[in-house]
Structure 1
Amino acid sequence: MTAPPQEPRYSRDELIEAIGVGQEYGEKIWTAFGFGRQQTDAKLFTAADVDAFALFARGASEVDEAAQVATARTIGLSLSRLADWQAAQLLEFEEDPDVTWSIDDMAKALSRIQRLVWRLHLAIALEGSRSSHTEHDDHADWSTVIGFVDLVGYTSLSRRLDHRELNDLITTFEDEISAVITRHDGQVIKTLGDGILFANPDPTLAAQTALDIADLSDQPPIPQLRTGLAEGEVLARLGDVFGEPVNIAARLCGSARPGKILVDENLTAAIEDDERFRIRSIAPLSVRGYRRLRANALSRPKK
C-alpha cells in the first residue's frame, strides 16, 4: 500500500521566499514577532502557514510598513506573555501525579480553546466596531471615558509578601476589577501588575464602574484601591489607547486618597445632573504635566 504523500514543509527562509517578500522585510517581521534575528533551518511551516503569512505580507503594498511591523510586534508580545504563562502551568501540571495527560495533549487542548475564545472575542469586537466606530475603523479620535485603578501601597506590599502570596493578590485584583468593568460594558485595555487601565464610552456606566470598584477597596483579600476617570478623545491603536484622557486619568488616580475616586471636568459635566452620583469639588491639583488640574471627587449620594 502506497503511503500518502507528505505535506511540504518550509524553513523560515523558504517561507520568506515563498510569500514573495524581500529578505529585509521578512527579517523585520520575524524580529517584530519576537524571535530576533535567529537563523534556523528547521522545517517549521506548512503550506497553510505560507498562505496565511502571504495574506499578512500582501498588506505591505497597501499599508505603511511601520504599521505592519507594529501589528506583528503587538501580536508577538501578547502571545509571548501568554505562552510563558501557559508553559509554567503545563510544567506544573506535568509534575502533578493526579494529572494523567501529557504536555503535548494539554498543549493541543489549549490551542483549540485559545482559537475558540479568540474567534468569539473577534466577533464581539467586530460587531462593536461596526456599531460604534463606523467613521473611524482604526478607532482614531475615539470619544470615551478612560479609567485607571491601582492598588494603594503596592511597593510595600510586594516587599512583605512572598511570590505565591503576591501572585494570589494580583490574580484576585485583576479578576475582581475586570469583572466589574465588563459587567458595565467596559473594556479592560491592559493590566499593569498594580494597576488596570480600562475604557467605557458611556459616562454613566463608567462612573458606576468606578463606584463598584470603590466598594471593593479594603475588602480582604483586596487592599485599598483608588481610581481616576477622564473623558475625551483618545487614539486607540493596536489594543492600546493614547491621548490626554489617559494621562489625566493616571494623574487623578495617583492623586486620589485610598478608597476614593477623582474625575475630570469633562466627565463631571456629563454626569453632574444624575442623582445617582455625588460630585464634590476639590482644590486644583499640581501634578506632573499639569500645574492646575481641575478635578472633582465622585461618590454615591449620602443616604
Structure 2
Amino acid sequence: MPEDSRSLAGDDRGPSVADVNEPRYTRDELIAQLGIKPEFAEKAWNAFGFVRRSTDDKVATESDVAALRVFAASSGAMPEATQIAMARAIGQTMSRLADWQADQLREIADDPDTPWDLDQMSAALGQVQQLIWRRHMALALERHVEHSADEQFDLIVGFADIVGYTSLSRRIDLTDLEALLGSFEDDTFDVVVDHGGRVVKTLGDAVMFTFEDAHAAAAAAIRIHELSENDHLPPLRVGLARGPVLTRLGDVFGEPVNIASRLAGSARPGTTLIDDTIADEISADDRFYLKSMPSLRVRGYKHLKARVLEAHRDGPLND
C-alpha cells in the first residue's frame, strides 16, 4: 500500500468540518509531539505499513496526536514487541481493507448514474467503518469480561476448505476464481454467524472459525456442506476440535487449531471430522449421527482419533 498523506489518520478525504481548524503535523512533527524515540517511531511506522522515509505531508491532526499518545504511552504496561505486533496487525488489516475498498469505490464512481464522487463515498464509508468497528469492539470487550481477563479460552476451532482447490484454480479464469472464493467466504461466514460462532480469518480456500457450543458447531458444519448443493460451490470438508486456546490480536492459537486443520485436511469431500471431546458432547443429540473410523496418522499426530459427523436421517435437521 503506498504511503498516503492522510493514511495515518485513517481518513482519505482530508480534514472534516470538525477538524478543519486543527493543527496538522508531518510525520517528523508527529514523532516530536509524541516524545517517543526515533528508533521506535521508525519500527511502528513500518509496522503500520508505510515506507521508512520522511515526508512533508501533513499526516495527522491534533486528535490523531492525542489518540497516538495513548498508544505510545502504553509501553509501561505493554512490551515494545507487543506494541509493534499490534501496529502490524492494524496495518496489515487496514491495508488489505483499503485496497479492496478503493477498487470497489472506483467501480461505483465509474458508473455515470452514481450521484456521489469518490470523496463523498470515502467519507461515508469511513463513518460506517467507525460504527461497525465500535460495535465489534463493544462485543469483544463483553466477551473478555465474561471470560475474565485471561486470554486462554476453551473453544471449538473449526476449518472449512474447498476440496481440490489447487487444481481448480488452474482450470478457471481469475474472474471466476474470485467470484467462487467470495461466495465461499461470504456464505460460510453467514452460516457460522447465524449459528452463534465467530469467523477468525479466511485463508483463501479455507475459513477458520470458533464456537463455544458443540451442538451449534456441529449444526453449522452440516449447513456448510449444503452450500455445495446445486453446483453452488465445489465439495467442502470440515474439521472441528475442542480445547484450550490462546487468543491474541484477533487470532487463535493452540493445539485445537492444529487438530482441526488436520481433521479438515483428512476429511473426505463433503464430510466433517470431529474430535472425541466434541463427539462426547453431542452424542445424545438426535440431530446428529456419528460414525467411527480408524485413528488417523497425520503430521504431528500418529494416532489422532476422530469421528465422522453426519446429519441424522430421521433427526430434526432433515425434517
TM-score normalized with structure 1 length: 0.94
Please tell me whether residue 129 in structure 1 is matched to residue 140 in structure 2.
Answer: no
Tell me what 1:29 maps to: 44
Tell me what 2:113 maps to: 98
1:104-119 to structure 2, matched below 5 A, reads: 104-119=119-134
Tell me what 2:17 maps to: none
Deviations 1:264-295 (A, max 9, x none): 12211222222222111101111111112111
Please tell me whether residue 70 in structure 1 is matched to residue 85 in structure 2.
Answer: yes
Deviations 1:179-217 (A, max 9, x none): 110011100000011110000011111111111112223
Deviations 1:39-75 (A, max 9, x none): 2121111111110100111101221111111111101
Bigger mean CA deviation after superposition, 265-274 or 186-195: 265-274
SS of residue in 2 equivalent to 1:252: helix
Tell me what 2:276 maps to: 265
CA–CA distance in structure 2, aligned partners of residues 247 and 268 of structure 1: 18
- The structural deviation recorded for 1:81 is 0.4
CA–CA distance in structure 1, aligned partners of residues 77 and 143 of structure 2: 25
Instruction: Give 1:278's match in structure 2, choosing from 286, 289, 302.
Output: 289
- For the structure 1 residues 135 and 124, does the alpha-carbon distance in structure 2 shift closer, same or farther, using more than 3 Å as the test? closer
Matched AA of 2:200: I
CA–CA distance in structure 2, aligned partners of residues 63 and 297 of structure 1: 44
- For the structure 1 residues 257 and 218, does the alpha-carbon distance in structure 2 shift closer, same or farther, using more than 3 Å as the test? farther
CA–CA distance in structure 2, aligned partners of residues 289 and 78 of structure 1: 31
CA–CA distance in structure 2, aligned partners of residues 7 and 206 of structure 1: 50
SS of residue in 2 equivalent to 1:27: helix
Deviations 1:203-232 (A, max 9, x none): 111111111112223432211111000000
CA–CA distance in structure 2, aligned partners of residues 221 and 103 of structure 1: 34
- The structural deviation recorded for 1:6 is 4.5
Unmatched tracts of structure 2, length 5 or more: 1-19, 315-319
Instruction: Give 1:209's match in structure 2, choosing from 206, 220, 225.
Output: 220
CA–CA distance in structure 2, aligned partners of residues 291 and 142 of structure 1: 26
CA–CA distance in structure 1, aligned partners of residues 129 and 313 of structure 2: 46
SS of residue in 2 equivalent to 1:35: coil
CA–CA distance in structure 1, aligned partners of residues 75 and 67 of structure 2: 14
Tell me what 2:191 maps to: 180
- The structural deviation recorded for 1:149 is 0.2
User: Do 1:12 and 1:44's aligned partners in 2 also have CA atoms closer than 8 Å?
Assistant: yes
- For the structure 1 residues 52 and 135, does the alpha-carbon distance in structure 2 shift closer, same or farther, using more than 3 Å as the test? closer
SS of residue in 2 equivalent to 1:298: strand
Please tell me whether residue 54 in structure 1 is matched to residue 69 in structure 2.
Answer: yes
CA–CA distance in structure 1, aligned partners of residues 278 and 119 of structure 2: 50
- The structural deviation recorded for 1:246 is 0.4
- The structural deviation recorded for 1:38 is 2.5
CA–CA distance in structure 1, aligned partners of residues 111 and 161 of structure 2: 35
User: Do 1:181 and 1:198's aligned partners in 2 also have CA atoms closer than 8 Å?
Assistant: yes
Instruction: Give 1:145's match in structure 2, choosing from 148, 156, 161.
Output: 156
- The structural deviation recorded for 1:300 is 1.5
Tell me what 1:85 maps to: 100
- The structural deviation recorded for 1:135 is 4.3
Aligned residues: 295
SS of residue in 2 equivalent to 1:7: coil
SS of residue in 2 equivalent to 1:299: strand
Identical columns (%)? 49
- Give the 4+ runs in structure 1 shifted more than 6 A: none
TM-score normalized with structure 2 length: 0.89
CA–CA distance in structure 2, aligned partners of residues 6 and 247 of structure 1: 52
Tell me what 1:194 maps to: 205
CA RMSD, Structure 1 to Structure 2 (Å): 1.4
Bigger mean CA deviation after superposition, 36-45 or 52-61: 36-45
